[in-house]
């Protein structure tokens, strides 16, 4: 009954697409306020139905984009949320905190760089002391930088940053959290359609996303006897600050137009997938990948 009510609150919702004015590049890491067309995080549309009541969630990259939409949706569903983010993203993080608190839930923040193992451990420690535990871990933070020349333009420094942010941090955070999670807890990793349809310009990023798929499936089997489920969401082209901050303007102009739906997706369209994996609705689902791609096939 709760699901039907939830669906009725979103009749024929129309999500906007970035326009041609969004072709201007912005500096990395990219702030929401710098975008000509800001993403839709579900601020005015998402309505919860207590599917995560009393849960404690950690969301990396929770300052903006997919992470903000997930943090807000979790809060609307009754969860308290810790968000981690880079110190440069403080303004965006404060807005996410405002949204979580507007939904009536507790929000705590841990700025820092997840390429550092000690910081990853500190994130989980802060969730234990600040929220009382961790029931949901969302490994969402990622780094990408498009390079037209592919392997010839990807420096060792960039390759190392992508690997540390996208893979090492996921490993460190999952390891720190899993040993302190109760049965019924969940880990949700953000993969990508790039794991299945890799672009040469994103060779290093696509490599990490394929690794996330393998990590998710292996960890799901590893933790099943502890009662901890592990799944992944694989987004297609989603309109976030990362896009104009890491792609050339000609790519930004056409971003998402090659999908069957003819547009980029909005973070608000991703959040329900994370809520599904975090809730009891997916209690018999582990080791799975859910694509949210605007109709583009994962394989």
What DSSP string describes 137-188?
Answer: EEE--------TTGGGT--HHHHHHHHIIIIIHHHHHHHHHHTTPPTT-EEE
46 included as an active-site residue: no
Q: Report how far residue 92's alpha carbon sits from residue 104's, in angstroms, rounded to the nearest whole number.
A: 19
**Looking at 143, 196, 205, 274, which residue is catalytic?**
205
- Please name which of 204, 154, 195 lies closest in space to residue 290, comparing C-alpha atoms: 195
166, burial (CB in 10 Å: exposed 0-12, middle 13-18, buried 19+):
buried
**C-alpha triplet 50, 56, 61: angle, nearest 5°:** 105
For residue 29, is the peptide bond before it cis, meaning its omega torsion is within 30 degrees of 0?
yes
Per-residue CA distances from 203 to 68, 86, 216 (Å): 26, 24, 20
Catalytic residues: 205
């Amino acid at each position: 009954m709760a699901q039907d009510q939830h669906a009725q609150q979103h009749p024929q919702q129309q999500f906007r697409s970035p326009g041609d004015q969004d072709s201007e590049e912005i500096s990395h890491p990219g702030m929401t306020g710098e975008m000509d067309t800001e993403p839709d995080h579900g601020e005015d549309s998402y309505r919860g139905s207590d599917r995560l009541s009393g849960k404690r969630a950690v969301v990396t990259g929770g300052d903006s984009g997919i992470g903000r939409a997930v943090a807000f949706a979790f809060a609307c569903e009754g969860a308290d949320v810790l968000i981690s983010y880079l110190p440069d993203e403080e303004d965006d993080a404060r807005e996410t905190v405002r949204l979580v608190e507007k939904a009536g839930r507790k929000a705590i923040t841990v700025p820092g760089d997840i390429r550092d193992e000690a910081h990853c451990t500190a994130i989980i420690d802060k969730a234990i002391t600040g929220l009382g535990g961790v029931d949901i871990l969302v490994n969402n933070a990622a780094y990408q930088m498009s390079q037209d020349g592919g392997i010839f333009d990807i420096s060792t420094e960039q390759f190392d940053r992508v690997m540390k942010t996208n893979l090492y941090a996921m490993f460190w955070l999952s390891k720190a959290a899993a040993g302190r999670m109760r049965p019924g807890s969940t880990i949700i990793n953000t993969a990508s359609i790039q794991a299945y349809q890799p672009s040469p310009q994103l060779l290093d990023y696509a490599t990490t996303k394929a690794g996330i798929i393998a990590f998710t499936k292996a960890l799901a089997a590893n933790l099943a006897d502890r009662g901890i489920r592990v799944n992944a969401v694989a987004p297609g082209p989603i309109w976030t600050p990362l896009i104009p901050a890491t792609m050339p303007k000609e790519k930004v102009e056409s971003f998402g137009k090659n999908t069957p739906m003819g547009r980029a997706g909005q973070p608000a369209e991703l959040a329900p997938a994370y809520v599904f994996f975090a809730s009891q609705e997916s209690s018999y689902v582990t080791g799975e990948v859910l694509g949210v791609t605007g109709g583009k096939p994962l394989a």
